Structure 1
Amino acid sequence: MSNLHRNVQETSSYDKFNAKSYLKKNYPMGPDGIPASHEDWMPWLLNNLKDTFAGGQLSGERLLDVGTGPAIHNLISAARYFPNITCAEYCQENREEVEKWVRGEEDAFDWAPFIKYVCGLEGQRDWEARQVSLRDAIQQVVFCDVRDENLLASLNGGPYDVVSSVFTLCGVAKDKADFDGIVSNVSHLVKPGGTLILVCDLEATHYSDGKASFPHTYLEASYIRQAVRNSGFTDVKDDVLLFKSIEGLNWDGTSYIYLTARKSLDTA
């Protein structure tokens, strides 16, 4: 039996997802002020996000984060450039965690160390101002079911300049065909010429929040790239972080992929 399956209950219901357990397990900060993560995957992710938003290739004001979960770390760099952010999430407990942080409640998860770290990557000193700007930028935290073929109507406001989704589309897909459909649904949320940011686990079959184990569809990098292209995107670029070992992780994949793509101008 793998480490992932010890002392966890097998489930496919996100009603049992434990947000606080997930945050505590997956977002520790080291004493050196660097996010403590297996083979530095968190610094890898945050640095990729920093480069994407600071690269000067993105335009507009509206960003949608699909499957935010209970975490806001992937929006820290975005808030520097996008003043209108919507967090769309299926699980009520996760939405409540984000809302607690936006309101500054005492029992909310402390993201200040992550904000300080990202500001350091960017060469910015005033992390407190970034924290304020991020709270101001998150204007909505809404329910979202990525299998809804009419996602855009349920979210209101028209397509977004940027749509990001970090470790969500791959995690909820039941199989490859389901993943294709989910990517297609999400593609309609991106305006023509807009940008998709997609981060996925590669070649995983299950993961855990620390208390429950959730199934995961086995996806290769080549399959994800093609699914994105099939959904009307071009200029697909990616960075793959290959793990040397997954011992002790809450997941059994081999690597992560960070992918950006541009929505074709002639695609509805």
Structure 2
Amino acid sequence: MEKWAATIIANAISTYALDTICTAAGVLLVASGLLSGLDFRDAVIILALSYLLWAGGLSTSLAANWRLLESTGTSTSLLSKLAYDVAGHWTRRGGIRRTLSAAGYVVFELAKESPYYLGAFGLAFASDVISGEEALVFLAGANAGAAAYEFALGRSTRFLIGIAGKTPYASFEEEWEPAQYLTDYYSTVDADERNTIAFFAEAARRMPADEPALVFGVGPTLHHVFALASRASEIHLGDYLQCNLDEITRWIEGEEEAHDWQPFVRYTLRCEGGDNPSGTAVLEREQLTRAKSTTLLRVDMRNDRPLAGAQQCYATVLTAYCVDSATDSLDDWQACMRRVVGLVRPGGTLLVAALGRTRGYFVGGKAFPSPFLEAADMEKLLRDYFPDSALTVRTVSVPECTPHGFSSIILAEAHGRFPPPTLVQA
């Protein structure tokens, strides 16, 4: 009830503010005389253009409203909040909840427009105070005011969420939910993973063949493992949380409640050159991945021996959205990343994906940390271990992921790791 109470109060305030701004903008535009003398056709064109402006402002507030719903369960739109809650009872798929809540938001905003039409055209038809053209100009001004309002609302909402979300972050040990993470991020192959999987599939062609590979920080996911299966002799999957490894085990053992990774397998095969992979090809890659996933192990990148005391090094190490997704400190990221790089044998390959330029990301409305990493940070660190000629670091924009808390990712591949320095004893 507290979330609904907050939504009702926010809705009342936002509606009053919107009405005030739109009315003032419409009246000022008519009174200014800037568009006086327009014929009806030109006035209609101006009104149509004002709706494009309004749509631009609305896109900003829609993204912010989704983040507000995910992080607090509240909204500035009653209908959006209702759609979000109803969808939450019906499905756990984040994409459906987002679409329905956005539809509720837009419908509610359009409903707020109706009084302006009734008032403007009612006055135009009932009296000679204003003409039909002036009514259209008033509406265009109201739309311009609405656009400014929606943009300001979206930006201020994101700013306030950012302040509130700086601390504390959710606890991985106590608040991480693998099932929620899979639902929010892996119901479909979204833009971030389309780019990541394509990058890894291409980079895997250059990894050492027929040698063991390690996926460090695999999480409860397997979508990056499929690209390694055709090259590695065996694959070891490591994660800090046992609950994530339990999710992996369910898939390896073929349990019914395991997550469905077939869309990601199919996309991986397409990236490898299969234009339209058959169902048989997908099943074969799944079976190959199961067969080659020989070891699941607990890892801790905060430990100088991150493989729980083991000292094995690998020909290929892949770490995706792990080190950067566990701390908000750039210094800690560097220290942990160096430990992960230390698991690559001399001459070996490292494949990395990370969130770019963000302080955190959301899972089930909970904020988890990220150190505002930039490509330059990644490149600077990897140059200490790999030759420039064998190092690729790129930033990819993924604005579709903004509701999750980030809008860019960093992808890196590095080959031919330098041998560690030899200690010379006196």
Which one has the bigger helix percentage?
2
Matched, 1:98 2:248: yes
Q: Out of 45, 48, 67, which is 1:4 matched to?
A: 67
> What displacement does 1:214 show?
1.2
Q: Relative contact order (alpha carbons < 8 A, sep ≥ 6): 1 or 2 greater?
A: 1
Matched, 1:85 2:235: yes
Distance (Å, rounded) in 1 between the aligned partners of 2:358 and 2:192: 16
Matched, 1:26 2:177: no
* TM alignment of 1:230-245, pairs within 5 A: 230=384, 232-234=385-387, 235-244=390-399
Residue 7 and residue 120 in structure 1: after superposition, are their counterparts in 2 closer, same or farther (change >3 A)?
closer
Give the ranges of 4+ consecutive aligned residues of structure 1 lying more than 6 Å apart after TM superposition.
none
Q: Which has the larger radius of gyration?
A: 2
CA contact (8 A) 1:152 1:188 kept: no
Q: Please give the TM-score of this superposition, normalised by the length of structure 2.
A: 0.56
* TM alignment of 1:94-133, pairs within 5 A: 94-122=244-272, 123=274, 125=278, 126-133=281-288
Residue 187 and residue 2 in structure 1: after superposition, are their counterparts in 2 closer, same or farther (change >3 A)?
farther
> What displacement does 1:212 show?
1.8
Distance (Å, rounded) in 2 between the aligned partners of 1:215 and 1:133: 34
Matched, 1:65 2:215: yes
Residue 96 and residue 152 in structure 1: after superposition, are their counterparts in 2 closer, same or farther (change >3 A)?
closer
Counterpart code for 1:17: W
> What displacement does 1:143 show?
0.7
* TM alignment of 1:215-226, pairs within 5 A: 215-226=369-380
Cross-structure match for 2:199? 48
Residue 206 and residue 194 in structure 1: after superposition, are their counterparts in 2 closer, same or farther (change >3 A)?
same
Higher mean displacement: 10-19 or 219-228: 10-19
Higher mean displacement: 203-212 or 237-246: 237-246
Distance (Å, rounded) in 2 between the aligned partners of 1:240 and 1:74: 18
Q: State the Cα RMSD in Å.
A: 2.1
Cross-structure match for 1:136? 291
Q: Out of 198, 218, 221, which is 2:352 matched to?
A: 198
Residue 244 and residue 214 in structure 1: after superposition, are their counterparts in 2 closer, same or farther (change >3 A)?
closer
Q: Out of 168, 171, 178, which is 1:13 matched to?
A: 171
Matched, 1:261 2:414: yes
Identity among equivalent pairs (%): 22
Aligned residues: 255
CA contact (8 A) 2:327 2:369 kept: no
CA contact (8 A) 1:4 1:213 kept: no
5+ residue gaps, structure 2: 1-63, 73-167, 422-426
The DSSP-based 3-state class of the residue aligned with 2:297 is strand
5+ residue gaps, structure 1: 30-34
Residue 4 and residue 93 in structure 1: after superposition, are their counterparts in 2 closer, same or farther (change >3 A)?
farther
> What displacement does 1:244 show?
4.2
Q: Please give the TM-score of this superposition, normalised by the length of structure 1.
A: 0.87
CA contact (8 A) 1:60 1:161 kept: no
Residue 243 and residue 43 in structure 1: after superposition, are their counterparts in 2 closer, same or farther (change >3 A)?
closer
> What displacement does 1:263 show?
4.5
Residue 91 and residue 84 in structure 1: after superposition, are their counterparts in 2 closer, same or farther (change >3 A)?
same
Cross-structure match for 2:343? 189
* TM alignment of 1:145-224, pairs within 5 A: 145-152=300-307, 154-156=309-311, 158-224=312-378
